[in-house]
Amino acid sequence: MTEETRRKAAIVGGGVIGGGWAARFLLNGWDVAVFDPDPDAERKIGEVLANARRSLPALYDRALPDEGTLSFQTDLRDAIAGADWIQESIPERLDLKHKVLAAIGTDASSEAVIGSSTSGFKPSDLNAEGARAIVAHPFNPVYLLPLVELVGDRATCDKAADILRSIGMFPLTLRKEIDAHIADRLLEAVWRESLWLVKDGVATTEEIDEAIRMGFGIRWAQMGLFETYRIAGGEAGMKHFMAQFGPALSWPWTKLMDVPEFTDDLVELIAGQSDDQSGHMSIRELERLRDDNIVGMVRALRRTGSGAGGVVGAHEASLPTGSELHGLPVTATRQVPASWTDYNGHMNETHYLETASQATDRFMEMIGADAGYVKSGRSYFTVETHVRYLGEVLAGDRLVVTTQVMSGAGKRMHLFHHLWRDGETLAATVETMLIHMDLGTRKSSLPEPAVADALERYATRHAGMAAEGSGRAVGQPAG
């Protein structure tokens, strides 16, 4: 995204949610202006951004766009001037939202989307005094979790959904407005029942969290509620499940329509248990732990395209590829996630090979041996690889891979990958030999003419280019 095409988002309110919105837009190439009278807003958003820079790129195997420009404005008009998206994320006070949304509506472009992060108010509440906002309710951390609930004018929600998909989010437009939307109504039910379980001495805050994260929380991450219960019904499916467990709905198991009295004693009980459970870690440490776990789970879900993993995969497919470096095609660009580092504090040797494998896959796509080609029963198999580790790579470094074709005649494809740290320092080379295969017979075969021709064109173009380190054996002295 060039400076001429870069879009602008204005964030009004720089708390936890506003900071998350700022990070999500900024790391996807948007310019971001923040308006928040809090004197600590810049520091707080800076800390959120540090976590986002560490975690969001770790979800992807391609590089996100170059960051936009972040600014902090002391005047609301300056913040929203020229903004394509304006996100209000101030405290949940309707009188305050009316005041702020009115001021935004007066000066905002008529083409700008005005979203409110409200977790409870309906658009009719927000716009009762003439505002034109829609609900755009995200989930913390906004820079990692894709869900955004949209409620309001259909045309505006459709426009908002397109923008949200372009920054890797999952817009869910409600069919009708309702207090607390969808997800928070579900969370409220769990929250109420949990308060009773603590108040009645049935479980501690830690035990309730264990029940969620060791059981149904993992199932929900990939399948949600109804698909999970469909499986619980066995071969007979959802009808069997409903018949078997439906009667339990009339049993007095829960207290969802009854709220425990919100006394100082209950607050102290829960706060004390929470301190015992998690007080040994700072909020920033807990956030980093949360983010690392989310990255790991979402990356696991990417393999099957399930849940949030499917959203990341679809967004990654839209990210640009096809540039060149040092006269060679760039076949992989990515940020090194913290999960790739080992006990020595640098990228583990396994992931040099993983990065090169991703580069090989990308090069196969470039010559036409893509997913459709594989589906038709033909592919390339790796038969030999040699890795040279030339420099340390640390978490957060940007890896750029260039691919050189050493030869491509007949059944063979001989590639030489250069792994560059931040596009400048050569960190490794990976030399790999592949053989074209017939997936039906599982035997070697000649590639289709179009693939063979494309490969030969690259081989001709790269002939005579330096390939220092190619053809080496393990332990061979330098020089």
User: 110 by DSSP, 3-state: which?
Assistant: coil
pLDDT at 479: 58
pLDDT at 314: 95
Q: How many angstroms from the chain centroid is the CA of residue 111?
A: 27
pLDDT at 93: 95
Q: How confident is the model at residue 351 (pLDDT cuts 50, 70, 90)?
A: very high
Contact call for residues 172 and 139 (beta carbons, < 8 A) = no
Contact call for residues 150 and 173 (beta carbons, < 8 A) = yes
User: 233 by DSSP, 3-state: which?
Assistant: coil
pLDDT at 420: 97
Q: Distance between CA atoms of 208 and 223, rounded to whole angstroms?
A: 21
Q: How confident is the model at residue 2 (pLDDT cuts 50, 70, 90)?
A: low
pLDDT of 245 above 80: no
What domains appear along the chain, each with residue ranges and CATH number?
A: 8-181 (3.40.50.720), 192-280 (no CATH), 324-462 (3.10.129.10)
Q: Distance between CA atoms of 259 and 420, rounded to whole angstroms?
A: 58
pLDDT at 239: 86
pLDDT of 249 above 90: no
pLDDT at 3: 60
User: 265 by DSSP, 3-state: which?
Assistant: helix
pLDDT of 447 above 80: yes
Helix or strand run (H / E) with residue 47? helix 41-55
Taken as a whole, the chain contains a residue count of 479
Q: Which residues of 144-161 are buried (b: 16+ CB within 10 A; e: fewer)?
A: bbbbbbbbbeeebbebbb
- Cα Rg, the chain, nearest whole Å: 26
Instruction: Report, as an integer, the average pLDDT of 272-291.
Output: 90
Q: How confident is the model at residue 254 (pLDDT cuts 50, 70, 90)?
A: confident
Instruction: Report, as an integer, the average pLDDT of 72-91.
Output: 97
Instruction: Report, as an integer, the average pLDDT of 395-423.
Output: 95
pLDDT at 4: 59
Instruction: Report, as an integer, the average pLDDT of 38-42.
Output: 94
Q: Distance between CA atoms of 73 and 288, rounded to whole angstroms?
A: 28
Q: How confident is the model at residue 158 (pLDDT cuts 50, 70, 90)?
A: very high
**pTM of the prediction?**
0.85
Q: What is the pLDDT of residues 109-135, one digit of tens each?
A: 999 999 999 999 999 999 999 999 999
Place of tokens 């999952």: 170
Q: What is the pLDDT of residues 283-317, one digit of tens each?
A: 889 898 899 889 989 999 998 999 999 999 999 99
Q: Which of 305, 335, 306, 330 is nearest to 320 (CA)?
A: 330
Contact call for residues 343 and 349 (beta carbons, < 8 A) = no
Sign of CA dihedral 34, 38, 43, 46: negative
Contact call for residues 401 and 420 (beta carbons, < 8 A) = yes
Report percent pLDDT > 90 for the chain: 76
pLDDT of 478 above 70: no
The pLDDT mean for the chain works out to 93
Instruction: Report, as an integer, the average pLDDT of 137-147.
Output: 96
3-state helix, strand, coil in the chain (%, to 5): 45, 20, 35
